[in-house]
Structure 1
Amino acid sequence: MSKLTARDVAIAAGVSRTAVSRAFRQDRSLSEDKRNRILEAAQKLGYLPPSAQAVAKLSDRTITLVAADMENPFYPLAANALSQAIHARGRRLILHAVPPDEDIDSVLRQVLDYKSEAAIVTSSLMSSRMARDCRAQNMPVVLFNRVQPDELMTAVTCDNYGGGRLVADRFLATGRQRIAMIGGKENTSTHLERSRGFRDCLAEAGREPVAAPSGEFSYRTAFDAACDLLAQADRPDALFCVNDIMALAALDAARVVGLSVPDDLAVIGFDDIPMAAWPPYRLTTVRQPLRRMVAETLELIEAQLSDPEIHGAIRILPVTLIERDSG
């Protein structure tokens, strides 16, 4: 069988060879309809442009990490742990960073074109299209510290719900009366599960958060939200922040308004990033079992590479409350 060329794709798509070249180069002007027609014809024929052929050689024995929220120190830590574990298995990690406020489809073509053996996704939003297209290319995908309503999706996550309950239990056991929460992005499973566990545990004791503003998983937004809460006459005496970055912001806000931690205000976070243990913070927090999560993620990838029919496994790993000085 003769080698496929751009001319074969041009004939199949009913376009010129120049149009075929432009279809594979995002910086060239071409109508979306014509580009899609060309790419569909290329896929059916099994054609790869020279640039993609070179990428295919480079992508041999690689695993792609699609990551969002890289400003949260937990995810660079996770990327480093994944990279080391993947390297130890004789593979390489390729990172695709999702731009702020965009979903995973913004890097969809990069991920699929690179043709890694598998993908790990920490992005907060993964469309059904992404999952479907990866499965169509027999690319195993594992969500890392994320879950979503897709019966075919494979995921490894910590017990975010249980972690939220641990925090509420701690506040109740230490006699806190005005318990509040600073939440994250409302469309993320981490925010939803942590806040649900926290609220459910409080409700079982006949309580509810006195306030629950959003901190958007952002230091600045959480700092402003904490300052607003702590300036009130009936301010909270306990504050659960659903990640550590927001908890550090709350501790800084408490200093600004002159409150003593934990006497006037108890603060508990979630993740146990390295800064949580720094002397100025000594943050009580919920620790994710990062290394075990990494090991389980790679185990699931190996299983899917061995048997492409394996889908829908979700592993939820236990968390630990790390008691320091803040709550």
Structure 2
Amino acid sequence: MKPTAKQVAHAAGVSVAAVSRAFTPGAPIQAEKRKRILAVAEEIGYISPARRTAEVIAAGTITLVAGDLVNPFYPTVLDALARRLQESHRQLLVYALPAQTDVDSATDQILASRPSAIIVTSAQLTSKMARACRQHQIKVVLLNRVQRDIRINAVACDNYQGGRDVGRLLLERGHRKIGFVGGIANTSTHAERARGFRDVLSESGMRIHAQASGDFEYRRGYLAGQDLLSGANPPDAIFCCNDIMALALIDAARERGMRVPEDLAVVGFDDIPMASWNAYHLTTIRQPIDRMVQEALSLIDDPGIKPTDDGITRMLSGELIKRGSA
């Protein structure tokens, strides 16, 4: 038999009405009495009717935690995930966080909704959040990023190989003054793309000609482009760590009277919708978004994978899309 409110009341030495008030937000009850009632309820395993209803609703809900919905790549991920969940008659709850922030600021809200699983993309997951999810038996999957310092499931594009593919393409096209615009240094997407790119250049006896940081943003990418192209010996090709910075760099180059690709080749990463627009015709690495979402959901749905298990990382190959910018 499930514990009842009457049993909680008896154990806490209060009335059944007091138990009801303790579980009702804003209801009049002394703080110390509420604390005692909640402690007793947790000890004997009592779950209030309101919470049971919420858990039934949340059973088919997956929460997406996103930290950079301004970047067109992530709304594309959101769309793919929403379509997949709709097909399986599940719900999607989205928490949008300020860019470059971790999820701790929303941990209580996220866990209070009791989702069946959480997908984190473009936001930093902390060990505190990971530990809380394990305690609540909630599966977590990182999408489009890997964090080696936390035992957590992850699905990502092979960013290292993508960086290598870009470097090889630019070398094959005869470029020798090759620049680089990076993203956010402490993210796996930046680190792996940069490492693959550098390794290919190094294997050919070359180094990055000039580099700057664009923080994965249009404005910062534009300023990085201005900085790289204003020197006395500007690059003849630039790899940008994501598409939005690559579009910004093309805009910066054209404002300086440079032709793309005749004077400057530009390559991005992601293949966001705008990359194929005639105004940019951007050469880029296409991330397999649909497959990444499918793999994330398979990790969530696999009954053999428990929230307390060590993390599983699944890496998927990207595709070099050759267009007119390089």
Q: TM-score, normalised on structure 2?
A: 0.87
Between structure 1 and structure 2, the one with the greater Rg is: 2
Q: Deviations over 1:273-313 (max 9, x none)?
A: 0100000000000000111111111111111x454265421
Alignment of 1:312-323 (within 5 A): 312-323=311-322
**CA distance in structure 1 between the aligned counterparts of 2:72 and 2:197, rounded to whole angstroms:** 23
Alignment of 1:141-290 (within 5 A): 141-150=140-149, 152-290=151-289
Provide the aligned length of Structure 1 versus Structure 2: 317
**CA distance in structure 1 between the aligned counterparts of 2:195 and 2:35, rounded to whole angstroms:** 42
Tell me by how many angstroms 1:24 deviates.
6.1
Tell me by how many angstroms 1:85 deviates.
0.7
Confirm or deny: 8 A CA contact 2:12 2:40 kept in the other structure.
no
Structure 2 residues without counterparts, runs of 5 or longer:
none
Q: Is 1:78 the counterpart of 2:83 in the alignment? A: no
Structure 2 counterpart SS, 1:270: coil
1:92–1:245 Cα change, 3 Å: same
Q: Is 1:114 the counterpart of 2:113 in the alignment? A: yes
Confirm or deny: 8 A CA contact 1:52 1:114 kept in the other structure.
no
Confirm or deny: 8 A CA contact 1:184 1:215 kept in the other structure.
yes
Aligned to 2:124: 125
**CA distance in structure 2 between the aligned counterparts of 1:133 and 1:9, rounded to whole angstroms:** 30
Structure 2 counterpart SS, 1:213: strand
Confirm or deny: 8 A CA contact 2:12 2:37 kept in the other structure.
no
Tell me by how many angstroms 1:152 deviates.
2.8
1:307–1:259 Cα change, 3 Å: closer
1:232–1:140 Cα change, 3 Å: same
1:43–1:222 Cα change, 3 Å: farther
**CA distance in structure 2 between the aligned counterparts of 1:73 and 1:131, rounded to whole angstroms:** 27
Structure 2 counterpart SS, 1:286: strand
1:183–1:81 Cα change, 3 Å: same
Q: Which moved more, 1:284-293 or 1:91-100?
A: 91-100
**CA distance in structure 2 between the aligned counterparts of 1:111 and 1:127, rounded to whole angstroms:** 14
The CA RMSD measured in Å over matched residues stands at 3.1
1:99–1:40 Cα change, 3 Å: farther
**CA distance in structure 2 between the aligned counterparts of 1:64 and 1:133, rounded to whole angstroms:** 15
1:193–1:36 Cα change, 3 Å: farther
1:239–1:56 Cα change, 3 Å: same
1:214–1:35 Cα change, 3 Å: farther
Confirm or deny: 8 A CA contact 1:237 1:264 kept in the other structure.
yes
**CA distance in structure 2 between the aligned counterparts of 1:297 and 1:124, rounded to whole angstroms:** 16
1:48–1:211 Cα change, 3 Å: farther
1:238–1:117 Cα change, 3 Å: same
Confirm or deny: 8 A CA contact 2:61 2:93 kept in the other structure.
yes
Alignment of 1:8-157 (within 5 A): 11=12, 43-46=42-45, 52-150=51-149, 152-157=151-156
Tell me by how many angstroms 1:100 deviates.
2.9
**CA distance in structure 2 between the aligned counterparts of 1:10 and 1:221, rounded to whole angstroms:** 60
Q: TM-score, normalised on structure 1?
A: 0.87
Structure 1 residues without counterparts, runs of 5 or longer:
none
Tell me by how many angstroms 1:72 deviates.
0.9
Counterpart of 2:230, as a letter, is: A
Tell me by how many angstroms 1:192 deviates.
0.7
Confirm or deny: 8 A CA contact 1:23 1:38 kept in the other structure.
no
Tell me by how many angstroms 1:35 deviates.
10
Percent of matched pairs sharing the same residue: 46
1:280–1:35 Cα change, 3 Å: farther
Aligned to 1:291: 290
Tell me by how many angstroms 1:123 deviates.
3.4
1:59–1:323 Cα change, 3 Å: same
